[in-house]
Structure 1
Amino acid sequence: MTTEATTTDLRGFTRDWLDWYRAQEERLAAPHGFLAITGLHWLHGTPQRFPDAPGAWWTDDDGVHVRLDDGEELAVDGSPVTGTHHFGVLPERGGVDAVWGDAVIEVARRGGNDIVRPRHPDAPLRAAFTGTPAYAPDPRWVVTGRYVPFDTPRPTTVGAAVEGLEHVYEAPGRVEFSLEGHELSLTVFPGHLPGRLTVLFTDATSGVTTYAANRSLALAEPAADGTVVLDFNRAANLPCAYTDLATCPLPPAGNRLPVAIEAGQRIPRERGGV
């Protein structure tokens, strides 16, 4: 390969990475993204009011409910809601967004608990956000691995950024690969789209230059022969890297890599990163 071709390939590689990085930042800092969250409110059987949301909220066997006072209104699925509204039983990791003026009131279920998590565009964390530090993209951190499916998906319990909370995921298999002279493997979870996979991991940089609790890596659907590409340049922070108002899962046991993955997103400035 000529030097000119190598330079052109590197420029394209960097350009693609920048497109990914900017998309990550746009989602995070969107008007109702995770930086806009102003409270994480846990619901129980007694109605309670919160300073950053209208109404009195509670949960029971029939799901989540809100009782709005005179003059208070939400929009749910585009329709105005007044008085008492029943959201019903929410699925785990599911939720509903109710609009209140320029804010969105997220009503969700996490770790078997119903929560209300308001998102306000003028939240101080969002207003002060200046971007996420990251390592410069480097092709050396792109490795080809092999996806090894389990005979049947394995229910896998992991901890959460919130103490005492647990998440359960169905792990369909693991990915095996070589990196820095080590033979490694990572348990994977289903991705956001059918066929795709997600990895939660830590490594020797965690708590040093990258966020201590976790990072996430999205993988494309493995090829027919199990081949799958891991581009650690796209190792992303989860919302808990920026705010304590997130319930992010922690990596499963065994997903701590004994090498320093000096790639991807680093400790946010909001957590003291540079």
Structure 2
Amino acid sequence: MTTTEHLAGQWREWRHAHVSTMFRPYGWTALVAQYWLEETDRDVTFDLLPGTWSIAEGRIIHTPPATGPGLSVNGVHPDGPVEIVPGRNQTYGHGASVPVYYGTLEVETLLRTTQDGQNLYGVRVRDPREATRAEDAGVTAFDYDPAWRLPGVFTPSGRVEHDAETVEPGVREATPRIGTFRFELNGTSHELILIGKDTATGVQPVAHVRDRTSGPVTYGAGRVVELHFTDETCQTIDWIDFNYAVALPCAFTNFVTCPLVPPENHLDIEILAGEKRPAQTVARTKTYQPRAQA
């Protein structure tokens, strides 16, 4: 049986690392733009970036300007069209993408879909000079409470692809489902759908939940909790610890496509654990406008 002191100590270290990662120079709060391309787009220009952008056979192609500064792609200034590969940028450490900069700005691309299933391609820009500071965002959390570390049972389903609606109207994001996790609280059983987040070290099980604190006490669009496999075959999860519940990046920036909470994960309980609602709010505006049909 793990002691409360040990659990709380591990949580404090994790909490410090999580906040540091969120508010790092090229973290989520440094995002300053999110542009969109569709399959037929050619030679599109973006306000903050040089050159032009196109989609060619499902690839995002950047063409440098004829004169003046251009992008640095994996340490080189390309002298002709170059593919900017989607994926988690080097800040988050996985995927096939490479470091891309325009001066101080960092650039990354991403794949999404529209409401009707058409491919959609995003280009994001981060500016470390604009990154929010944790103290300005007003990020706080409940003290660690071992009562919110709850045993349960994972039922794997295999990977089931699912495109979820997001906080960006008209844009859907792949949120593959890997099974369910059932736990009991005060004699009542609850079941959550788990998402399988791809990371540099493998699949990370994640529960995205809303509860009765969502809005008045915690972030209104719900919070996420990372769970952990306890066997080498990734078929067993023994605990969910709501002390590790955190707000999604959309709590801190407009330029993201955070998925909406699955209806099955709306809990009719108060989870008084984990991260509280940030003091600073984000005014959400649309970044995606569907192209007019000819």
TM-score (norm 2): 0.80
Q: 1:155 to 1:195 in 2, by over 3 A?
A: closer
1:231 CA drift (Å): 0.6
3-state secondary structure, aligned to 2:55? strand
Q: How far, CA to CA, are the matches of 1:23 and 1:98 in structure 2?
A: 25
Q: CA RMSD in A?
A: 2.7
Deviation beyond 4 Å, 4+ runs, structure 1? 90-96
Match of 2:208 in 1: 200
In the other structure, the counterpart of 1:214 is 222
Letter in 2 for 1:235: A
- Structure 2 CA distance for partners of 1:228 and 1:36, relative to 1, 3 Å: same
Structure 2: gaps spanning 5 or more residues: 89-94, 114-118, 283-294
Distance 2:163 2:110 in 1: 20
Aligned-pair CA distance for 1:130:
4.8
Distance, in Å, in 2 between the alignment partners of 1:95 and 1:199 is 26
Seq. identity, %: 27
Q: Paired residue for 2:179?
A: 173
Using the TM superposition, name which of 206-215 and 191-200 deviates more. Answer: 191-200
Contact 1:68 1:83 in 2 (8 A): yes
Q: How many residues matched?
A: 264
How far apart, in 1, do the equivalents of 2:73 and 2:249 lie?
A: 25
Matched with 2:194 is: 188
Question: Deviations for 1:123-172, whole angstroms, at most 9, x for unmatched residues?
Answer: 1645974551211111111001101122x433333211111222233322
Q: TM-score, normalised by structure 1?
A: 0.85
SS in structure 1 at match of 2:13: helix
State how far apart, in whole Å, the 1-side matches of 2:16 and 2:47 are. Answer: 33
Corresponding residue of 2:15 = 21
- Pick aligned residue for 2:277 from 257, 261, 267: 267
SS at structure 2 position matched to 1:14: helix
Instruction: Give the strand-richer structure, 1 or 2.
Output: 1
Listed one character per residue, the Cα deviations across residues 179-222 of structure 1 (whole Å, up to 9, x for unaligned) are: 13320000112143435411111111111111111211111114
Q: Which one of 147, 161, 165 corresponds to residue 140 of structure 1? A: 147
Does the 8 Å contact 1:156/1:252 carry over to 2? no
Q: Deviations over 1:211-255 (max 9, x none)?
A: 111211111114488452111000011111111111111222301
* Aligned partners of 2:112 and 2:174 also within 8 Å: no
Letter in 2 for 1:20: W
Which secondary structure state, in structure 2, belongs to the residue aligned with residue 23 of structure 1? Answer: helix
Which residue identity does 1:148 align to in structure 2? T
